[in-house]
Structure 1
Amino acid sequence: MSSFSRSQIVRKPVAVTRGGVVAAQHVQAAEIGARVLHEGGDAVDAAVAVSFAMGVVEPWMSGPAGGGAMMVWRADEAKPHAVFYGMRSPSGLDPRDFPLSGQGQASDLFPWKAVVDDRNVHGATAVAVPGLVDGIGIAHGRWGRMPWRELLQPAVALAKRGLHVDWYAALLIASATRILAKDRDAAALFLEDGQWPTIAGWTALAEKRLDMSRMADTLAVLAERGHRELYDGEIGEALAGDVQAKGGSLAFADLNAYRAEIQTPLSISYRDAQVHVPPALTAGPTLADALAGMEALFEPGGRPEEGAFAAYADALSAAYERRLSGMGDENESGKAPASTTHFSVIDRHGNMAAVTQTLLSSFGSRVVSPSTGLLLNNGVMWFDPEPGKPNSLAPDKRCLMNVCPAIGEKGDRRFAVGASGGRKILPAVTQLSSFLLDFDMSLEDAFHHPRIDMSGGATVIADETLAPSVIEALRAQREVVTTRRTVFPYAFACPAAVMREGGLNMGATEIMSPWGDAVAEA
């Protein structure tokens, strides 16, 4: 039984405007994106600025040393595009360097067989080739209108000032203090005396800030020299050198060889609507599978009730069973928090971007590159260390991610949506899409409506504020655990979306996210 108060009601207003809107997990980043839109920038320009800002204000969730995927809607073309910038395993990685320990399961997200010293989970040996900067860079090159340098300046300024460690930042840092203390540079950035978060006393008015000046220098160089600096320039050479000095296999040649891709998206016909997602190595194909199941399992009524939620559970369960057995992402448990962020952008012309970016685990590899000030990913953990499996660890291999940015359209309604939360992402995007397409909910109602999580395994996690009849209908078919949406930890994903309808643009973020907000351009 939860000890949280049951009398609190949390609501967030939806930003509504005829101009542009940015919905992001951190209000400072959303404000930066909204300013870009106000200055005449395209939705992709705003996405560039928000992406780098998020790496400063939520460095444990994403950043230049991570990866991700983006969906773009171009109003002038009436056409979607996908941008894929997932991570890769280093070409010099040797699976023999990751011997199984015989000591049960790994200590993080996936229940792989444990590796000696968790070398695939944390530390420099877990670092994969990052893709985020190249992906954001090629998107800007294709659709951006404002200069790259200008779009990175707000992130540079944020990093020079340093991250304010408020109660929420302190909580997140505290959750990883023991493992951060193992890397000297991570401890120097996030901890005091290597033991606890940098934070003022609870009654103090003075601000405590992380020293992110080294990251500011790196961002300033990227701003001046362009996105390939991380892959072909001095910044990339220094980053690879830092990883190798700490025992990892990432090489400068891996960065030189990396290329993000602009892809033709997977377009899904769903009842009288369409949903567009990245085509491969994401949760996009699994969303297509889930939507096909839902279309066969229920007919929408006035509101999502017993039949709809039973169909959500059945369709998601079947889709995940096929995903985990056939796409090489088998046995993922989601037992620890994933380090991911999502933001959605719409400009006044109706161009959209849905962007999900990640370090994989919370705080990634828990290693900081001293030369660049960047927190590094732990993308090697995406691979099964046991040989002979669909997703077994191997060199120069692309990672399969759970990210699921999506564009949905029905009549004059179009939306861009996605979420953070590891395997919880797909159920959230599936249900929010259904709320908006099947039940014609407003964006505000959709984001406040309780959801379930069915992301593999036999158990449904249900928001206890769902109607009792819905919970009983779920219990008639499956094991059900009920809980509330809380600030920390998240039992459900953390979504963000923008929508255009009737000539108005609007945005919303997860109601329990203390930092998240949707901001309209002034």
Structure 2
Amino acid sequence: MNVRTPTQIVRKPAVASSGGIVAAQSGLAAEVGAEVLAAGGDAVDAAVATSFALGVVEPWMSGPAGGGTMIVWREAEQRAYSIDYGMRSPAALDPADYPLSGQGLASDLFPWKAVVGDRNVEGAGAVAVPGVVDGIGQAHARFGTMPWRDLLAPAAALARRGLEVDWYAALMLASATRALSRDVDAAALFLDDGQWPPLASTTPLAERRIVNDAMAATLDRLGELGFREFYDGEVGRQLAADIAAKGGSLSFGDLRAYRASLTAIERTPYRGGGFYLPPALTAGPAFADVFSQLSQTLAPAADGPGPASYAALADALASAYARRLAVDGDNEAPHSPACTTHFSVVDRAGNMVAMTQTLLSVFGARVVSPGTGLLLNNGIMWFDPEPGHANSLAPGKRCLMNVCPVIGETGTARFAIGASGGRKIMPAIAQLSSFLVDNAMSLEAAFHQPRIDVSGGATVIADAALPAEVILALSDRHRVVTAPRTVYPHSFACPVGVMRQAGENFGASEIMSPWADAVAEPAPPPE
């Protein structure tokens, strides 16, 4: 509900199906994944297709030149796996190339000391070694059932058809127009005479499309030659050459050396269920910290979370983030804009995937590789440019991320959830998990339930729709500011998720996200 217009209520019903479901921040990408399920693919097959489709239809959030983490549940094995495909700094990176300017703080997500020319934020010098293609490729090699080329073909077709620019796409492009205009290839792809939308145009906005033939050709080549072509073949060679030509330190050798890690993981128990979490260098350890506290401080309540529940959540989140910041040195601004994407998949057999991928900032480094058509990440910004800290910039170093894909169990149901939103991700996923486990909510009810954000700052951000007694309980121990749940700007994370209970599947997405949706696999035609 928008507090400025209290007569309006926004609802987005969950999708229910006996077949598989894909929930994503782009309904168009979710449709691609659902079609794979209908063609007989499993959850990992659908994840491959959805991942590459998102890089085309939601380019400001993620793409093949990014990184992230996924959790895979294999129903037949009753086993979960984590695949870490986070970015890494290039081996030849020299911290001396990122001198502090002495001019305040960085211009983007992190309150690091500013670097001369924002070299760690924007441009080829901000590009880290990407991991998405190797991560999703390893998952497919281990668990997939459909031919790899068939799973990349829909994304290539989308790139040739072009991204339709509606009001939301135009908003995202307008938010980064100045930065995109500084790279000739990014400007050529996304802008029109350095502007978006053009001031003088007779073309209706809804009929405008961003066509990326170079990306389509790259996806075709990866489909034919396999995922390691991105690292060992001509695609990797071209990508490295483009980055070097623009002044970055990433080399072909960095790409050839990159390997994602795939490991079996154990359940972190919680009450009658538990969670399968991503390991270190993600928000998984902080999530586990939260539920270790909640097991002692939060009493389950079938009638939903009340003032005591929200107070316990706020205390646990604040404590977990205080420990994370002290140990890991993660200093991302707590209310930075969402700049990541997440999707979740469940197939008709009960296999699940929770996958988060990112370019880091909105539009990443705001640089496009002309030879591959790929928008590049700015993963170097994850590191503190000031030496001597836990997360200081160094060559060949793994990035610390805030991603938190989770597969959880309530005792009677299993769910896969995740979100975009930087440091807001973990608090959102922890609360949704608590609603599902501690309050036995349906997936639809949990996604409509108002949330709070406690992500390392001194202030609790509370949904303005929360009852006055909840705000009062939070105010007893924290400074509280209320904010509406809106499309933009984002005071809270943007989650999506799926659930399986008693043989039926459900999917839900953030109610205020205009593109996010859950899509069930189409029913087979009647015989």
TM-score range, shorter chain: over 0.9
In structure 2, stretches of 5+ residues that fail to align are 523-527
Q: Which residue of 2 aligns with 1:336?
A: 336
CA displacement 1:242-296 (0-9 Å, x = unmatched): 1110100000000000000102335211122111111111111110001111122
Q: Which residue of 2 aligns with 1:486?
A: 486
Amino acid at match of 2:466: L
1: CA distance, partners of 2:4 / 2:202: 21
2: CA distance, partners of 1:200 / 1:30: 34
CA displacement 1:396-436 (0-9 Å, x = unmatched): 00001100000111223000010011101000100000000
Name the CA shift for 1:210/1:200 in 2 (closer, same or farther; >3 Å): farther
Deviates more, 1:208-217 or 1:190-199: 190-199
Q: Secondary structure at the match of 1:414?
A: strand
What does 1:360-439 align with in structure 2 at a 5 Å threshold? Answer: 360-439=360-439
User: Contact 1:108–1:335 (CA<8 Å) still a contact in 2?
Assistant: no
What does 1:22-37 align with in structure 2 at a 5 Å threshold? Answer: 22-37=22-37
Q: Which residue of 1 aligns with 2:325?
A: 324
Name the CA shift for 1:319/1:266 in 2 (closer, same or farther; >3 Å): farther
Corresponding position: 1:140 with 2:126: no
Corresponding position: 1:225 with 2:225: yes
2: CA distance, partners of 1:112 / 1:213: 37
2: CA distance, partners of 1:17 / 1:389: 49
1:201: how far off? 6.7
Corresponding position: 1:48 with 2:45: no
2: CA distance, partners of 1:373 / 1:171: 22
2: CA distance, partners of 1:205 / 1:303: 43
2: CA distance, partners of 1:97 / 1:203: 44
Q: Which residue of 2 aligns with 1:348?
A: 348
In structure 1, stretches of 5+ residues that fail to align are none
Q: Which residue of 2 aligns with 1:513?
A: 513
1:338: how far off? 3.8
Q: Which residue of 1 aligns with 2:304?
A: 303
Q: Count residues in correspondence.
A: 520
User: Contact 1:200–1:208 (CA<8 Å) still a contact in 2?
Assistant: no
CA displacement 1:21-78 (0-9 Å, x = unmatched): 0001111111111111111101000000000000000011000000010000000011
Corresponding position: 1:170 with 2:176: no
1:515: how far off? 0.6
Name the CA shift for 1:480/1:439 in 2 (closer, same or farther; >3 Å): same
Q: Which residue of 2 aligns with 1:214?
A: 214
What percent identity do the matched residue pairs reach?
A: 65
What does 1:188-199 align with in structure 2 at a 5 Å threshold? Answer: 188-197=188-197
2: CA distance, partners of 1:89 / 1:198: 37
1: CA distance, partners of 2:92 / 2:206: 47
Corresponding position: 1:456 with 2:456: yes
1: CA distance, partners of 2:328 / 2:269: 22
User: Contact 1:496–1:508 (CA<8 Å) still a contact in 2?
Assistant: yes
Corresponding position: 1:156 with 2:156: yes
1:7: how far off? 2.4
Calculate the TM-score normalised by the size of structure 1. Answer: 0.97
1:4: how far off? 4.3
Deviates more, 1:257-266 or 1:339-348: 257-266
2: CA distance, partners of 1:491 / 1:206: 28
2: CA distance, partners of 1:97 / 1:204: 45
User: Contact 1:200–1:207 (CA<8 Å) still a contact in 2?
Assistant: no
Q: Which residue of 1 aligns with 2:236?
A: 236
Q: Which residue of 1 aligns with 2:525?
A: none
CA displacement 1:115-139 (0-9 Å, x = unmatched): 1111101110000000000000000
User: Contact 2:279–2:285 (CA<8 Å) still a contact in 1?
Assistant: yes
2: CA distance, partners of 1:281 / 1:266: 17
1:206: how far off? 5.8
1:444: how far off? 0.5
1: CA distance, partners of 2:35 / 2:211: 26
User: Contact 1:33–1:50 (CA<8 Å) still a contact in 2?
Assistant: yes
User: Contact 1:170–1:198 (CA<8 Å) still a contact in 2?
Assistant: no
User: Contact 2:89–2:399 (CA<8 Å) still a contact in 1?
Assistant: yes
Amino acid at match of 2:79: K
Amino acid at match of 1:475: S
User: Contact 2:334–2:457 (CA<8 Å) still a contact in 1?
Assistant: no
User: Contact 1:279–1:285 (CA<8 Å) still a contact in 2?
Assistant: yes
Calculate the TM-score normalised by the size of structure 2. Answer: 0.97
Q: Secondary structure at the match of 1:122?
A: coil
1:231: how far off? 0.2
What does 1:74-89 align with in structure 2 at a 5 Å threshold? Answer: 74-89=74-89
Q: Which residue of 2 aligns with 1:314?
A: 315
User: Contact 1:165–1:199 (CA<8 Å) still a contact in 2?
Assistant: no
2: CA distance, partners of 1:117 / 1:388: 22
